[in-house]
Amino acid sequence: MTKPKLRIGVLISGRGTNLQSLIDACTQPDFPAEIACVVSNKPDAHGLARAESSGIEAVSIPHKNYESREAFEKDLTAALTERDVDLVCNAGFMRLLTNSFVAHWFNQQINIHPSLLPAFKGLHVHERVLEAGARISGCTLHFVRAEMDAGPIIAQAAVPVLPDDNADSLAARVLTAEHRLYPMVVKGIADGTITIDGDTVSIAAGAEEHAPLLLCPNL
């Protein structure tokens, strides 16, 4: 019997370029996950149009319509649960989450951050990387915890910081790495290569994929 595909719910707030990388991956017949829905807290997020044009259900839940984070997250959880979501994928979702929401989706929610965590948490990452004189930057996929940009690290991709970089050029290079890394991690979770027990992430040995990035682990 064929194993059912992992159903993912993608949370966005903006352009949805990482969403697009997941949409593209899910079009491959052998990819072990499918996008059940895309949810945005901003009704004008371009990522919603990306979802609709690909035949994926797009849901707008404007956070400004709610008096509290808890009320907003109640409807967010309902939307994900009603669509039988197995894994929540934050992809440029610009909302801090309460302890209650994180606990509800414990080890079933992942996030991508445009730095090599635990360095450079928070906003304005690329400007701070350049100000610090770092020679290497990158991105990190991790399981979500209540603290911002914290949680067990699943995988990272590194890119060089070039002498003539500005924040925009560095951001573009990191974003390219994000687009490679996110589908790899979702695939690993879906096919059981990547597992988590408590706060410990385990990655089974598998076929290596050679890429012009330093991927840790090499998925």
| Same domain for 119 and 72 | no
| Same domain for 96 and 60 | yes
Task: Give the per-residue pLDDT at 215.
Answer: 66
Give the CATH number, domain containing residue 91. Answer: 3.40.50.170
In this model, does residue 79 exceed pLDDT 50? Answer: yes
Q: Do the Cβ atoms of 139 and 172 come closer than 8 Å?
A: no
Does residue 6 lie within any of the structural domains?
Answer: yes
7 contact partners, CB below 8 Å, separation of at least 6: 33, 34, 35, 36, 83, 84, 85, 86, 87
Task: Give the per-residue pLDDT at 210.
Answer: 43
Q: What is the pTM of this model?
A: 0.94
Which of these, 216, 213, 146, 151, lies nearest to 185 by C-alpha position?
Answer: 216
At 212, the pLDDT band (50, 70, 90 cuts) reads: low
At 87, the pLDDT band (50, 70, 90 cuts) reads: very high
Q: Encode pLDDT of 190-208 as tens digits.
A: 999 999 999 999 998 754 4
Does residue 147 lie within any of the structural domains?
Answer: no
Helices 125-132 and 167-191, axial angle in degrees (round to 10)? 120
Q: What range does the domain containing 85 cover? A: 1-105
Does residue 148 lie within any of the structural domains?
Answer: no
In this model, does residue 129 exceed pLDDT 80? Answer: yes
In this model, does residue 217 exceed pLDDT 70? Answer: no
Average pLDDT estimate for 21-25: 98
For residue 84, what are its two tokens? Answer: 């039988």
Our CA angle for 4, 9, 13, nearest 5°, is: 160
| Same domain for 12 and 73 | yes
| Same domain for 169 and 126 | yes
- 103-107, 154-158, 209-213: which has the minimum mean pLDDT? 209-213
What average pLDDT is seen over the chain?
94
Residues that are catalytic: 113
| Same domain for 84 and 5 | yes
Q: Encode pLDDT of 145-191 as tens digits.
A: 999 999 999 999 999 999 999 999 999 999 999 999 999 999 999 99
At 211, the pLDDT band (50, 70, 90 cuts) reads: very low
Distance, in Å, from the CA atom of 146 to the CA atom of 128, rounded to the nearest integer, reads 23
Task: Give the per-residue pLDDT at 150.
Answer: 96
